[in-house]
Amino acid sequence: MEAFSDGVLAIIITIMVLEMKVPHDSSFAALRPLLPVFLTYILSFVYLGIYWNNHHHMLHAAQHVSGAILWANLHLLFWLSLFPFVTGWMGENHFAAMPTALYGVVLLMAAVAYWILQQAIIARHGRESLLAHAVGSDLKGKLSPVLYIIAIFAAFFVPWIAGALYVLVAALWLVPDRRIERALAARKEPVS
Amino acid sequence: MEAFSDGVLAIIITIMVLEMKVPHDSSFAALRPLLPVFLTYILSFVYLGIYWNNHHHMLHAAQHVSGAILWANLHLLFWLSLFPFVTGWMGENHFAAMPTALYGVVLLMAAVAYWILQQAIIARHGRESLLAHAVGSDLKGKLSPVLYIIAIFAAFFVPWIAGALYVLVAALWLVPDRRIERALAARKEPVS
Amino acid sequence: MEAFSDGVLAIIITIMVLEMKVPHDSSFAALRPLLPVFLTYILSFVYLGIYWNNHHHMLHAAQHVSGAILWANLHLLFWLSLFPFVTGWMGENHFAAMPTALYGVVLLMAAVAYWILQQAIIARHGRESLLAHAVGSDLKGKLSPVLYIIAIFAAFFVPWIAGALYVLVAALWLVPDRRIERALAARKEPVS
Amino acid sequence: MEAFSDGVLAIIITIMVLEMKVPHDSSFAALRPLLPVFLTYILSFVYLGIYWNNHHHMLHAAQHVSGAILWANLHLLFWLSLFPFVTGWMGENHFAAMPTALYGVVLLMAAVAYWILQQAIIARHGRESLLAHAVGSDLKGKLSPVLYIIAIFAAFFVPWIAGALYVLVAALWLVPDRRIERALAARKEPVS
């Protein structure tokens, strides 16, 4: 499951670049309309990097797989697979209201899908499991959807606020999920 | 063989999204013509998820590989590789008769190819093998092609019936192939 | 090296399908101009399947890797990566002289690259190695380039002869490379 | 991390070929405008091969992974993911000043990202580690950015000098990174 998920994420992150259409003109000016697409590409690249990173840590902590986990994982990959589409649409339309809101909807649905996957893994491993402790109160996981929802509404009034919120949430998550790393390390410690 | 198949499936599932062309307009109305493409994308995503899931379980139960199995596997991947094409064609033409029928033909051929691969693996491992027992009477495997054939004919008269049948078969399979899981678990049980 | 090569081959085999552009019309007639592209797609799919199969067996027999082997492998992947391009060109132009000849040139160069890789691996493992014995006189490996060269010239006079030769060589190779399999099995036998 | 990086590199190297658009005409003349795209494709293929090769060796020498290493790695993949875009732009515009300079900028940034990743791995493993010794004075790693910067400036006056410099740096690196291989071999030697 990890190999398949890694493959899908690697492909999503790479085909996104195909939305930056090569301009026919060779002047510097020909690059200017591509700037918003490029900025959106960077943002989506960072988000997919965060998902790959945390997803990777979470699957490592999971020792058992069930049908529910498999489909929760495919559900997450489904929403992540829409990244190239919404990235291209938001970038091409220079952060217009509708595409900016839709970008937030896909971010929100991916966050919800990640949360479902996390719950499915915890349910399979028990409330006393490593992952359950590692996740803990999951402040960042609860704050992100709230910020996405605010951003979706903001997109229709002041689009740059939506953009700023997307950048803010990415910055919050940029730190890799040390909670699981720490819990894993803690499990190994009491050797003496 | 499993890594290669997983790679091909991961790529098919991801490049399918490229058939949803990014609209140039930023209005909500610009998304409306994409709705049938999006619905078809979801259906194909679920089908490929089912194939990945069951294929994965089947290859795990296979302990030996032969030339026949390798080519039966490539034959299956061939029909699955046509998913992005028929998904795009059916979606773009809003479930018109011909594309809807062709979608069913590819589903049918993939089911036949999956059956051939299953037979090749059973032939290699013997009628008494784990997989042979796990597959058993294979009701779902026999019912699906019948429903696909009905759907292909229905597509020319009442296209929505074809669509409903495709959704029905997907729903039938959405439950992962527990037969093999159960047989694998059973093999491990009689330890005492 | 095997994982990377498998990945590249999986991607080449899958993006080839993107050359079959989804027609905007929903009639059966809209599919007719795609028929030569589809036939070429099948041919290229079979060739890439053969390469994956034999490449897989050869790398399994190789126990050591050198810089020369790595670059001989990348050289092979380079020529295989041109398959989507020549497949699309030959298919779209209904087997016209020039594209049909170029298809043969890429087949020829891939065969040469495969031979170089084989020599690099044998050189690294010694004339007495398993692989050296398994390859033996390598009749098929010597016949294929000759048939490709005949096909390239034939393409300018009677294109269908070129096409028939490409199909013939594929048929010759469709049997997986049992030589190495047999040699591997033989090595394990003298246990007693 | 290695599997994910290998996947991303395999996809980048393969989708680059999609920038060579299949011509609609079947004459030999139709290929001529594709020649610069093809030459650029070869150059980029060689560069990505070099990166895959050295990256592969470096990750093998790394025994521990940290958050900093993960993000340094994603940062490198980001710049490499821009290869298809700059390859297409430089090729389509027949080595015009601006695209040729931008190609150099992406090469430069990838080299910087590689250096950062190398430093992150050395920092994690200590100045006395295998990798730190293997890298040594890193002459090639220091010379390449200088040559890229010269090439970027040269692109605006005599573009072919920029092209020649890109080819020269690739030639310098074509030899796989034997330093690490040698250090790895040295570590194993003092058995007696």
* Per-residue CA distances from C8 to A90, B6, C165, D117, D140 (Å): 30, 13, 27, 24, 28
What pLDDT score does C192 carry?
Answer: 36
CB–CB contact B19 C22 (8 Å): yes
Contacts of B12 in chain C (CB under 8 A): 14
Which residues of chain D lie closer than 8 angstroms to C109, CB-CB? none
Mean pLDDT of D104-132: 87
Confidence of residue D91 (pLDDT cuts 50, 70, 90): confident
Which of D93, D94, D95 is the best residue to mutate to test the A interface, defined by the most A CB atoms within 10 Å of its own CB?
D93
For residue B18, the chain A residues in CB contact (below 8 A) are: 15, 18, 84
Find chain D residues with C-beta within 8 A of C81's C-beta. 13-14, 17, 45
Structural contact between residues A45 and A91, judged by C-beta atoms closer than 8 angstroms: no
CA separation (Å) from A49 to A35, A135, A170, D79, D112?
Answer: 21, 19, 10, 14, 19
- pLDDT, position D164: 93
Q: Please state, in angstroms and as integers, the Cα–Cα distance from residue A59 to each residue in A14, A63, A120, B9, following that order.
A: 22, 8, 12, 20
What is the structure's pLDDT at D189? Answer: 43
Give the nearest chain D residue to C85 (CA atoms): D22
Q: Which segment of C153-157, C187-191, D97-101 scores lowest on mean pLDDT?
A: C187-191
Q: What is chain B's mean pLDDT, rounded?
A: 85
Instruction: Give the pLDDT score at B190.
Output: 42
- Amino acid A31 reads L
A88 CB neighbours in chain B (<8 A) are: 22
Q: Show residues of chain D in contact with A88, CB under 8 Å.
A: none
Substitution target from A5, A9, A17 for chain D, most D beta carbons within 10 A: A17
Mean pLDDT of D146-170: 93
Please report which confidence band the pLDDT of residue D192 belongs to, taking 50, 70 and 90 as the band edges.
very low
> Does the distance separating the beta carbons of A15 and D98 come in below 8 Å?
no
Q: Do D85 and A17 touch (CB under 8 A)?
A: yes
- Decide if C178 and B67 are in contact by the 8 Å CB cutoff: yes
**Chain C hits for D10, Cβ within 8 Å:** 4, 7-8, 11
CA angle D155, D161, D162 (to 5 degrees): 45
> Residue C8: exposed, middle, or buried by beta-carbon count in 10 A (0-12, 13-18, 19+)?
buried
pTM of this structure: 0.88
Q: Decide if pLDDT at B136 tops 80.
A: no
Separation CA A51–CA A58 (nearest Å): 10
- Which single residue is written with the structure tokens 């061939």? B78
The pLDDT, as a whole number, for residue B178 is: 58
CA-nearest residue to D56 within chain C is: C1
pLDDT of residue B177: 53
For residue C191, pLDDT beyond 50: no
Chain B residue with minimal CA distance to C175?
B67
What distance in Å separates residue A175's CA from the closest CA in chain B? 27
Task: Output the average pLDDT for chain C.
Answer: 85
Inter-chain touch C49–B67, beta carbons under 8 Å? no
pLDDT, residue B185, reads: 61
C-beta separation of D15 from C11 below 8 A: yes
Mutate to test the interface with B, among A93, A94, A109 (most CBs of B within 10 A): A93
Whether the pLDDT of residue B133 is over 80: the answer is no
Q: Tokens 């190994």 identify what position?
A: A188
Question: How high is the pLDDT of residue A181?
Answer: 59
pLDDT grade for D174, boundaries at 50, 70 and 90? confident
Contact B113, B79 (CB under 8 A): yes
What is the arithmetic mean of pLDDT over C143-156? 93
pLDDT band at B140 (very low <50, low <70, confident <90, very high): confident
pLDDT of residue A186: 61
Distance (Å) from the C-alpha of residue B153 to the closest C-alpha of chain A?
31
Beta-carbon separation of C18 and D17 below 8 A: no
A84–B17 CB contact, under 8 Å: yes
Q: Closest approach of chain C CAs to the CA of D153, in angstroms?
A: 31
- Across C133-148, average pLDDT: 82
> In terms of pLDDT, which residue wins out, D64 or C120?
C120
Tell me whether residues B7 and A7 touch, CB distance under 8 A.
Answer: yes
- Please name the member of B31, B52, B175 whose beta carbon is closest to the beta carbon of A67: B175
Q: What mean pLDDT comes out for the span D162-187?
A: 75
Cβ contacts (< 8 Å) between D7 and chain C: which residues?
7
**Residue C190 banded pLDDT, cuts 50, 70, 90:** very low
Q: Locate B37 and state its tokens.
A: 């493409």
Mean pLDDT across the stretch C177-184? 59
Structure confidence at residue A180 (pLDDT): 58
Range with lowest mean pLDDT among A93-102, C36-45, C58-67: C58-67
Q: How many CB pairs under 8 A join C and D?
A: 65
Q: What is residue A178's predicted lDDT score, i.e. its pLDDT?
A: 58
**Preferred mutation among D9, D37, D98 to probe A, highest tally of A CBs within 10 A:** D98
Cβ pair C77:D13 closer than 8 A: yes
Average pLDDT (D30-58) is 90
Q: Does residue C59 carry a pLDDT above 60?
A: yes
In C, what residues contact D, Cβ < 8 A? 3-4, 7-8, 11-12, 15, 18-19, 67, 70-71, 74, 77-78, 81-82, 84-85, 88-89, 92-93, 96-99, 102
- Per cent of chain B over pLDDT 90 is 43
CB contact under 8 A, B84 and C17: yes
Those residues of chain A that have pLDDT short of 50 are 189-192
Q: Is residue C143 within 8 Å of C85, Cβ to Cβ?
A: no
For residue D70, pLDDT over 50 is answered with yes
Q: Provide the H-helix boundaries in D62-138.
A: 67-81, 83-92, 97-125, 130-135
D-chain residues near C98 (CB < 8 A): 26-28, 31
Shortest alpha-carbon distance between residue D10 and chain C (Å): 5
Nearest to A119 by CA among A76, A178, A150: A76
Q: What is the mean predicted confidence (pLDDT) over D10-35?
A: 87
> Which two three-digit tokens encode residue D65?
């992974």
* Residue in A with minimal Cα distance to B34: A85
Cβ–Cβ below 8 Å for C18 and B84: yes
User: Which of C19, C64, C89 is the best residue to mutate to test the D interface, defined by the most D CB atoms within 10 Å of its own CB?
Assistant: C89
d(CA A172, CA A160): 18
**What distance in Å separates the CA atoms of residue A41 and residue A18, rounded to the nearest whole number?**
10
Q: What is the pLDDT of residues B82-116, one digit of tens each?
A: 999 999 999 888 888 999 999 999 999 999 999 99
**From B11, B18, B85, residue closest to C11, measured CB to CB:** B11
Residue-wise DSSP of D133-181? HHHTT-HHHHHHHHHHHHHHHHTTT-HHHHHHHHHHHHHHH-S--HHHH
Q: What is the pLDDT of residue D154?
A: 94
B31 contact residues in A (CB cutoff 8 A) = 98, 102
Residue of B nearest to A73 (CA): B49
Please judge whether D81 and A7 are an interchain contact, meaning their C-beta atoms are less than 8 angstroms apart. Answer: no
Whether the CB-CB separation of A88 and A44 falls below 8 Å is answered with no
At residue B139, the pLDDT reads 78
- Candidate from A3, A9, A26 with C-beta closest to D99: A26
CA distance B108 to D13: 34
* Token pair for C23: 């027609």
Residue C161 has pLDDT above 80, yes or no: yes
C-beta atoms of A92 and B175 within 8 A = no
